[in-house]
Every structure is written in C-alpha cells, then in structure tokens.
Amino acid sequence: MNRQVKSKQRVADHGEVFTNEREVNAMLDLVKQETERIDSRFLEPACGNGNFLAEVLKRKLAIVDSRYGKSQIEWERYTVIAVASIYGVDILEDNAQECRERLLTIFNERYASLFKDKCKDECSASIKFLLKRNILWGDALNLRNPVTHEAIVFSEWSAVNGSMLKRRDYELDKLLAPRSTGAGTLFSDLGEEAFIPIPKQEFPLIHFLKLGEYDLS
C-alpha cells in the first residue's frame, strides 16, 4: 500500500505517483481537528488507491471507538456517518475500485475486532453501498466519467432523527460551480457566502442499516 509508483507506464500516461504515508499524515495534521470530526466531509479529487482517504477513515474510526466502542449500535451508526463523509474520485477505474476495497477492509477489520460474531451483515452492506456511491471513477478536471462522459454524481448523506439518513444526489460540476464566484460549496466549511445547490434527485429517509437495500431496488 505504501508504493508510490505502480508502473513507469502509468507515470508516463497519467502522472500517477502516490503520496507516501509520512506526507499524508503531515498534511492531515494541518487539519487535525477536521479529521477528528466524525461528520466532517473530505473530498480527494485524485484519490489513487486511497492513501489519504484510508488515513482519514482511520482517524475518524479512532474517535468513534473512543466515544462509542462500548455500544455496538452507536458504533455502527457513527461509523456509517464517518464513511458517508468520505469522497474520492480517480481517473483510473482500478484505483477507484482498489480504494473502495481498501476502505472496506479497514472497516471490516475494526468491526470484527470489536464485535466479533455479533457483526451484522446489514451494517457491512450499508458500508459497501456508501463506498460504491462515494468513491467514483471519474476525471476531476472535467468532472465526468472518462468513458461514458456522464457527469460525476455524488450523494450527500445527512443524519436525521438519530438513526435515519437523508440522501440527495448532486452533479459534482453543479456543486463546484460557485468556485468562480467565491461562494461556498458542499465540501467547504470556511464560512463563505451561502450557496444552496439543487439536487439532481432526492430519496426518502432510510435507516442507516438499510442502505444496502438501495442496491436491491
């Protein structure tokens, strides 16, 4: 996981060089308070196989463990919220898939170490679905899929009444459009002029352990 280069050809074709662990941690330490906020959103527009996002998830889960590790349902709920706040895009499809698998492994190992045979399939299914929706294959320069040319669409997940989640889907180019005007975006927490994007689609409230049912509908 700590390799910085997969192949010389990928470097030549895509300029692909992964950030090493020391630099990842040094950069995240600059925003340490945000990495320790369970619901603080992170978007990595060239996520590679997940060096930054894996460390963000580990830091968030450490907070979840310390606060909710003695209650399985609370740990599950806040872990779902933590994963729901992590977003990534990569121009190479295999990187996006590897990133999803890497984050899922981090979750699975932590979940099993804490709750062993009490782990719930439906919680794992929710995490898998979140990673499928939040870690996408796309070109962060034109905000589209490199092959289909369809717009990158992210889901916003908002906790409602404790155990329920509200899903709203947004096209990424619409979310980032205010950059030229100086207004804030979904991924900004700097207090700029408010910007309220229009969702592409909204979904009914759903229990955080039922997110896997989206894949069945």
Question: What percentage of the chain has pLDDT greater than the value 70?
Answer: 82
Where in the chain does DSSP place strands (E)?
A: 42-44, 86-90, 135-137, 153-160, 164-171, 201-202, 206-207
Q: What is the pLDDT of residue 177?
A: 64
Q: Give the pLDDT confidence of 69-101 residue by residue, as tens digits.
A: 999 999 999 999 999 999 999 999 999 999 999
For residue 8, what pLDDT is reported? 56
Comparing 87 with 185, the larger pLDDT belongs to: 87
Give yes or no for residue 191 having a pLDDT over 90: no
Residue 31 identity:
V
Q: What is the pLDDT of residues 1-38, one digit of tens each?
A: 455 445 555 444 444 444 678 888 898 999 999 999 99
The model carries a pTM of 0.84
Query: According to the model, what pLDDT value does residue 17 have?
Result: 46
Question: For position 13, what pLDDT does the model report?
Answer: 42
Question: With contact defined as beta carbons under 8 Å apart, do 138 and 145 qualify?
Answer: yes
